[in-house]
Structure 1
């Protein structure tokens, strides 16, 4: 394992602990206010400084890990779930269905994903659930194209042709042969997609369309700190740093898994 992959795993382990047991890393209350401690710079008393209400930013960042990761994982699950359906329809269905599904995916893929998410939120209203669904829907076309190409490779393999000769139906072939051989690609896509989904969801929260202050969520913290960014830089720097670290760590881990799958 290379050094960058070790660093990525270390970051993910830290994020996992922060998401599952934030009290171990930051035992304080992320919503507790202390007006007399407002706008304190980073120090031993407040590692990441404090915000306009005197809330400890380190505590809020750690406790916001769970919400941010949950949004990213849920959005990725939605995108991959839809991608599997469209990918199987295009790659395993008849030629006319493949043609129609592929053209639809190309049209959706050509549309900027974040803009599609914004349009979805305009129609259905802002909120954490809406923004999560919007991010999931906007990432699905790209995933579906990758899964379709993988399904087509598996469909033309000798063992799948042998299963057809043995009289196994389409659902059986999909369950026993197609999905197990696509699972590796799905796992890599999920690893890569979580980081992207967190960045997009945080962007929507920054615009006030997802989680809103004073929620301990990274995008909401960025949104709250943008008013003071020129004077109290730490209010946006540390939430943004964790967003970047999460995205980079997930991408490095996904690339490493991808390389191992290709070499195996």
Structure 2
């Protein structure tokens, strides 16, 4: 059962990546093209996911929106993991006072709910796609940093790192050649798991009107536009929400599979 779940997740990931890289192959239409006479059409062979209030094809908009949603998820995860590496290395390799101060700082940040922290950041710096991406990255960084710190502490006491110290290798060489490669497996799992979370959070911010805004072909913005018609034209919110869930579930399943592989190896 687990094998088939992983295969299904890989197939969904291939579809999402293809939609992000070459959306014209899957949906050659214009995601912003307006056809008022075709508004609110239910799902059919002509419009697989139906149309919205302006007659735009929802399937085309979802395919073309995959690139924006995945880019936001990847960028936010990169920001969060990048900051986490810095804080994790400072806490794990620094002197005791630096470890104490960095850990307490991370615990204070971790006490805030991630989405609330992102909302506070947007309140200060204003809404927008770039701002929401940075906000999600900052909100996820404390959790990643705590995990990286624990991994660094494990590797720090390993014999090969002690041997590198005895051989006179500098701190930069020890981190780059010995520590980071041995933390890379767990780090890659973190990235895989984090992308889905970042997509969900960024879509939530867009749904609230703090990220991408309609008529942008972005899944959260499509949810926001369709909520007005949810009782009458369910497909306007169902399909964007479905793909948000699918992207999160796909990255989580693949991340768990990688995590088990890393533990077994």
TM class by shorter chain equals over 0.9
Hey, what's the Cα distance between the residues in 1 that align with 2:186 and 2:108? 23
Q: Deviations over 1:88-118 (max 9, x none)?
A: 0000111110000011111111110000000
1:73 aligns with 2:105: no
Counterpart in the other structure of 2:195 = 194
Counterpart in the other structure of 2:125 = 124
Counterpart in the other structure of 2:95 = 94
Q: Which structure 2 residue ranges, 5 or more long, are not aligned? A: none
Counterpart in the other structure of 2:159 = 158
SS in 2 for 1:168: coil
Hey, what's the Cα distance between the residues in 2 that align with 1:221 and 1:104? 37
Counterpart in the other structure of 2:136 = 135
Q: Deviations over 1:196-217 (max 9, x none)?
A: 0000000000000000000000
RMSD: 0.6
Deviation at 1:148, TM superposition (A): 0.2
Q: Structure 1: which 4+ aligned runs deviate by more than 4 Å?
A: none
Deviation at 1:12, TM superposition (A): 0.2
With normalisation by structure 1, the TM-score equals 0.99
Deviation at 1:169, TM superposition (A): 1.4
With normalisation by structure 2, the TM-score equals 0.99
Counterpart in the other structure of 1:149 = 150
How many residue pairs align between the two structures?
264
1:112 aligns with 2:113: yes
Hey, what's the Cα distance between the residues in 2 that align with 1:110 and 1:4? 34
Q: Which structure 1 residue ranges, 5 or more long, are not aligned? A: none
Kindly report which structure 2 residues correspond to 1:54-69, keeping only aligned pairs within 5 A, or say none.
54-69=55-70
Hey, what's the Cα distance between the residues in 2 that align with 1:2 and 1:44? 32
